[in-house]
Amino acid sequence: MPRRAGYPRRVRHPLRPRVRPRVRPITEGRPPPSVEILDAAFRKAHRASAHGTTRLDRSRRNAKLRIVRSSAIVLRLIRGLGKSATTPPLSELDHRLLNTHFPEGSLERSMRRLRTAEGRIRRLLEDEERRLSTLATEDDFGDLVRRTYGRLASYIQEIDPDLERLHEIVRFRRDRPEVLPGVPSVVVAGFPNVGKSSLVARLSSAKPEVAPYAFTTRAIVVGHTDLGFDRLQVVDTPGVLGRAARANEAEQEALAVVGTNPTVIVFVLDPSGTSGYPLVDQERLLERWKTEFPRIPIVAVETKADLGRSNSDRLAVSAVSGVGIDALRKELQRLLAQRAVPVPAEPSGDIE
């Protein structure tokens, strides 16, 4: 819009940055995390307004307030992201699950770079506050603020990949149910589409997705049940095919849960043939796991008993009709008691 006659040309305030700091584009059309952080910091810092006895005194105070506020907001936001990624503290299982979806040590590397950036910002703030005391004009104050903004932007843009990775880790952890360490856990595992999720739904409060095709379960699902114990976790896992060298992320997630010393493993087999996997392959994986996890009780259970059974003496159950479910519960109670899981005392029935 052309300037109207008789109106003075707008003069830029010496403390207002000339341009917004340029940020590098990121893939998938999304801006990098630094954009949101810097926008929030500069926008709130620019609103700062200090009082002073003279115009020069007000300009000096405004400059100090803006460099302090912008630095504090940036520090608060990146610390908050780091805290979100590491709270609650990671268990052994959490570390294993992260390593199935991210390069090993990603969280630790990103947190180190975050702490390095925090240290640089704190030193920048100290240096600029000290330099401010030596300046004497409004233009000098404005240059100091712009220089501080520019260096802040540079420090945060350098850790954009780490900020993005921490955002991904936060989302990943929020999407996974918490498996409490030290709490008795029954892990239900086996080949895809053998009826694990239906069995978990029968045994616990979990509501896993059930569908007649393989790899319906893409991540762990946790439910709870009584079985006479104070608290018992029942964990549904994605299907595994026993191909350790070529396992996809879902299979790796299941193996991570199985390898974190659960109290009992329920290995589910489907002899009916409806899963699409030969029983001999399922039995081969069962025998391998008995060798790999000799200290963990493994209960071999045949599901879909209403559709077909093998000639073995394994416990046969049906999540549809309920056949064998009570027997499985009793077997789990027995094994959990043997594993020294505390069992609450039964009420005597006497009322005093």
**Running along the chain, 352 residues long, what does each successive block of 10 average in pLDDT?**
44 43 49 94 87 86 94 97 95 90 95 97 96 93 94 97 96 87 86 88 65 48 71 82 70 83 90 89 92 92 84 88 89 81 43 32
Do 332 and 197 share a domain, yes or no?
yes
In a domain, 59, yes or no: yes
C-alpha span between 269 and 275 (Å, rounded): 9
Question: What is the CATH classification number for the domain harbouring 238?
Answer: 3.40.50.300
Q: Please give the backbone phi and psi of residue 334, each rounded to the nearest 5 degrees, phi first.
A: -65, -45
Q: Describe the crossing of helices 138-158 and 106-132 by its angle, rounded to 10 degrees.
A: 170
pLDDT at 245: 59
The range of the structural domain enclosing residue 311 comes to 185-338
Predicted structure pTM score: 0.77
Pair (140, 189) in one structural domain: no
Residue 315 within any structural domain of the chain: yes
State how far the Cα of 257 lies from the Cα of 244, in Å rounded to an integer: 14
Are 209 and 295 in the same domain? yes
The residue from 147, 175, 203 where one domain ends is: 175
Enumerate the β-bridge partners of residue 190.
Answer: 268
Residues 154 and 209 placed together within one structural domain of the fold: no
- 194 shares a domain with 137: no
93 and 122 assigned to the same domain: yes
Separation CA 121–CA 134 (nearest Å):
20
Give domain status of residue 334, yes or no. yes
Q: Which of 140, 175, 210 is the last residue of a domain?
A: 175
Token pair in block for residue 112 = 């180190």
The encoded tokens of residue 275 equal 């899963």
Residues 191 and 258 in one domain: yes
Q: Does residue 327 contact residue 315 with C-beta atoms inside 8 Å?
A: yes
189, 298: one domain: yes
Q: How many domains are there within the chain? A: 2
Residues 6+ apart with CB under 8 A from 294: none
Say which CATH number the domain at 169 has. 1.20.120.1190
> Same structural domain for residues 135 and 191?
no
> Do 310 and 196 belong to one domain?
yes
Determine, yes or no, domain membership for 180. no
Provide the token pair at 82: 């780091």
Question: Do residues 132 and 198 both lie within one domain?
Answer: no
Short-list 40, 232, 237, 230, CA closest to 149 = 40
Would you say residue 1 lies in a domain? Answer: no
Of 117, 142, 175, the last residue of a domain is: 175
Kindly state whether residues 94 and 209 are assigned to the same domain: no
| pLDDT given for residue 14 in this prediction | 43
User: pLDDT at position 12, please?
Assistant: 45
pLDDT at 352: 31
Residue 10: inside a domain: no
